[in-house]
Amino acid sequence: MKSEKLPVYILTNEKYENVLNYPVIKINFLSPFISFDRVNYLIFTSKNGVRAINKINKKWKNIPSFAIGNSTAKEIEKLGGKVEFISKSAYGDEFANEIIKNFQNKTFLFLRAKKIISPINEIFKNSSNKLIEKIVYETVCNIPEIKIKKPSIVIFSSPSTVECFRKTENFENIKVIAIGKKTKKALEKFNVKNILMPKSPSIKNCIEIAKNIDISMFD
């Protein structure tokens, strides 16, 4: 059989070259009151946290930020913030452990989603640091206006994308790529098999995997 490239979908509205959007989730930005008094550092575990605070209070740019990965760090810099620390890990619990290992007696403001998986606040309780949490956005399910074409490759970028995809589609006749361990675990709850996963969690690495998949893998 002649090699044929399959359509590749990502389940958000983020734009990537040669990747289609099938947005099963959407982000609602919230507007809580934010005080930066006595805050030494900001913590961001996603680009959406950065985008949210930038809508709420521009003073965040004056406080050094900690980012969970390069894409979040780039968003901080893009919007005019200062990146002080970039985690070596893409997982929230490992990120938190890095922080408490290297910093003591500091106050951190965690600008977070309504629903999070990693117990960052519990980890901080075992340190001399203080953690203030503010919910600045929420992820909710969305029904796309298009139908997904099959066979295809679908990149799952979070457990939320798994849950929301399941409400609009099934896992038949698709090749699944999970961005990381927690997303893979969420897929396995629905008995999804043969899940591909990059060595280092990022959308770009998932897309690289997708480039090497062709229709013959469905035979």
| H or E element that contains 211 | helix 203-211
Average of per-residue pLDDT across 17-44: 97
pLDDT tens digit sequence for 170-218:
999 999 999 999 999 999 999 999 999 999 889 999 999 999 887 666 6
Q: Which residues contact 198 (CB under 8 A, 6 or more apart)?
A: 177, 179, 205, 206, 208, 209
d(CA 14, CA 157): 11
How is the chain split into domains, by residue range? 8-24+142-218, 28-140
* Helices 70-78 and 47-56, axial angle in degrees (round to 10): 20
Q: Are 138 and 25 in contact (CB under 8 A)?
A: no
- Asked whether the predicted pLDDT for residue 21 surpasses 90, the reply is yes
Instruction: Evaluate whether 8-24+142-218 and 28-140 have a shared fold.
Output: yes
pLDDT tens digit sequence for 70-119:
989 999 999 999 999 999 888 889 999 999 999 999 999 999 999 988 89
Classify domain 28-140 at the CATH class level. alpha beta
Q: What end-to-end distance do the CA atoms of the chain give, in Å?
A: 10
Architecture of domain 8-24+142-218: 3-Layer(aba) Sandwich (3.40)
ω into residue 7 within 30 of 0, thus cis?
no
In the numeric block, which tokens belong to residue 151?
């066979």
- Asked whether the predicted pLDDT for residue 159 surpasses 60, the reply is yes
DSSP 196: B
Contacts 24+ apart (CB under 8 A), 30-33: 30/114, 30/135, 30/136, 30/137, 30/138, 31/55, 31/56, 32/56, 32/134, 32/135, 32/136
Beta strands in 7-163 (DSSP E): 8-10, 20-21, 25-29, 41-44, 64-67, 82-86, 107-113, 130-141, 152-156
pLDDT tens digit sequence for 45-73:
999 999 999 999 999 999 999 999 898 99
d(CA 90, CA 67): 10
In the numeric block, which tokens belong to residue 1?
């059989």
Q: Are 87 and 76 in contact (CB under 8 A)?
A: no
